[in-house]
Every structure is written in C-alpha cells, then in structure tokens.
Amino acid sequence: MDKLKKKIIECGEVLSGDVLKVGSFLNQQIDTKLLFEMGKEIADKFAADNVTKILTIEASGIALAVATAFYLNVPVVFAKKHQSSNVTGNIYSAEVKSFTQGKTYTVVVSSDYISCNDKVLIVDDFLALGQAVNGMTELVSKAHAQLAGCGISIEKGFSGGGDCLRDKGIKVYSLAIIDSMESGKIIFRAE
C-alpha cells in the first residue's frame, strides 16, 4: 500500500535492534484517515472469504482491527494479555513471545467469543517472527474455528515469520513488507 509505505519512509524511525518506531501515526498516535484506508484495503482483500469475526491481541492491534471490521461489518474479538476479573468462565489460551518487550506472556480469549461456526480473520499491526499470529492461530484452532487469513499493517519480511505462515498455506496480506532496515535504510519488498 503506497500511502503507508510513504508514511513509513517519512515518519518511521529505525531504532537499534531492528525496532521500527511508528508511534507518530500507527501505534501510539493514530492517523485516523490512514488507519481507515488501511482497514478498507485489508477488508477488500478478504471480502470474498466469508469472514465472520476479526481477532487481534490488545493493545496496538485493536485500532486496525476496528477499522477493518467497519468495512467487513463483523465483530472484533481481542485476546487479552492479562487475565482480569472481567474474563470469566471457559477460556482459550496461548503463549506469545513479544519481540519489542523481550518476554513471554499468555493471551486469553473467552470461549464464548470464538466458536466452530466462525471464520476468523487475524489482524495485527506488526508481523515479525510471527509469534503473536501463531498464538492467535492457536486460539482459532482450539476453538475449532476456520482461519480466513491474516491482515497486517507492517511485516518485517527479513524476520521470516510472514513467509513461514505463507509456506503453511495461510493467506497473509501485509500492507507493507520491509525486506531490510540495515543502516536505517528501509527497503520494501516489491508487490
């Protein structure tokens, strides 16, 4: 998606340890107009896939999930990273290793919100090693739901997680795939 790539070049900052900071427009401050264009782009890509539900993980995936859900007209479910007093009853859980935080956490979702009748589109802001997506596919699988695929804003192609999912036959659509950030220079994969 050209507009996103342009914004990444203009406003993204490459930090040490392969961290790409996009806080000014994507995951702390959100450019609302761009967000809904991104959501529409993902919704269009999965328009024929009979998606019944969008699944994301709190917190930074929620905005894109909501924007995509607006166009697909389906509910959003977000997995929680911390079990609060508001998640009760039967749950599905999975372990996720966070790239930016350098730790492993458990994500949980109530079994009331994903069922075997659902076809689930996973949406997230970043895909690097694919740990978060793997955790979410595990939740989908535990619920005996079908997986429609994954819609991602920025994929770190050089981390390999996205291609690994594609090799498994999963439909992964990333709005921008970065193949290299060496020396702070961002190179996108050709579409």
Point out which residues bind its own copies (CB under 8 A): 15, 17, 19, 21, 23-24, 27-33, 35-36, 58-60, 62-63, 66-67, 69-70, 73-78, 80, 82, 84-88, 100-101, 109-110, 112-113
Two tokens at 12? 């993204």
Q: Which is nearer to its own copies, 82 or 144 (CB)?
A: 82
Exposure of 87 in the CB half-sphere (CA atoms within 13 A): 18
Q: Of the two residues 93 and 110, which places its CB atom closer to its own copies in the complex?
A: 110
Least Å from the CB of residue 126 to its own copies: 10
Output the smallest distance, CB 51 to its own copies, in A: 12
Distance CA 133, CA 123 (A): 8
Burial class (CB in 10 A: 0-12, 13-18, 19+), 88: exposed
Query: What is the closest distance, in whole angstroms, from the C-beta atom of residue 168 to its own copies in the complex?
Result: 27
- Cα–Cα distance measured from residue 78 to residue 173, given in angstroms and rounded to the nearest whole number: 19
Collapsing DSSP to helix, strand or coil, 6 comes out as helix
Least gap, CB of 191 to its own copies (angstroms): 26
